[in-house]
Amino acid sequence: MIFYIVLQFTVLIFAITIHEYAHGLVAYKLGDPTAKYMGRLTLNPLVHIDPFGTIILPLLLTLAHIPPIGWAKPVPVNFMSLKNPKRDMFWVGLAGPFANFLMAIALSIIIKLIPMLAHTIFGQVILYGIIINVILAVFNLIPIPPLDGSRIISAMLPYQYLTIYNKIQPYGFLIIILLLWTGILRKLIFAVVSIVIRYLGIHISF
């Protein structure tokens, strides 16, 4: 039991690290060096850890036998330093979830090419990696601040609607916790995750 909790938690940490690194890398490529100057453009997990989002919440979910959801400290981005702030906000926001989807696809290809791994500890790590990366991608695409989906929506909204949308930002964290607590968010996330994993050709039941 403890072994598998540690295993899931370790996979989650690396998935979150890749997610945040992708945000910083895309922002850097589009003209904003803030993440690099602040030491966040790195694959070192320690610099990305958020005490609640990376440790406490995922641990509580894992102990409740729920695949973990979490987040890291957001990579700092100065959108005014981007070449085209409104357009590039879309790509920076999409980068993290996209990186997680790419990881899930890569891992699903590995498990298909080497099927004998499925019954080994390495196979278990790969399966956890697929599940957790897809969960992170789907979770972060929800358009509630401060999740990445809110950046994507903000980049697409006309200015007059953007000011209205931004008014929910101070309450975003509370909305997320409330939706998690009621179970609404969990049902929504795992419905989408199940579809994505099925399309990846992986047979896992939640």
Q: Is 20 a catalytic residue?
A: yes
- Paired tokens of 121: 């500890």
What DSSP string describes 131-198? HHHHHHHHHHTSSSTTSHHHHHHHHHS-HHHHHHHGGGGGGHHHHHHHHHHHTHHHHHHHHHHHHHHH
Exactly one of 8, 9, 20, 93 is catalytic; which is it?
A: 20
The dihedral sign for the CA sequence 71, 72, 73, 74: negative
Catalytic sites, residue numbers? 20
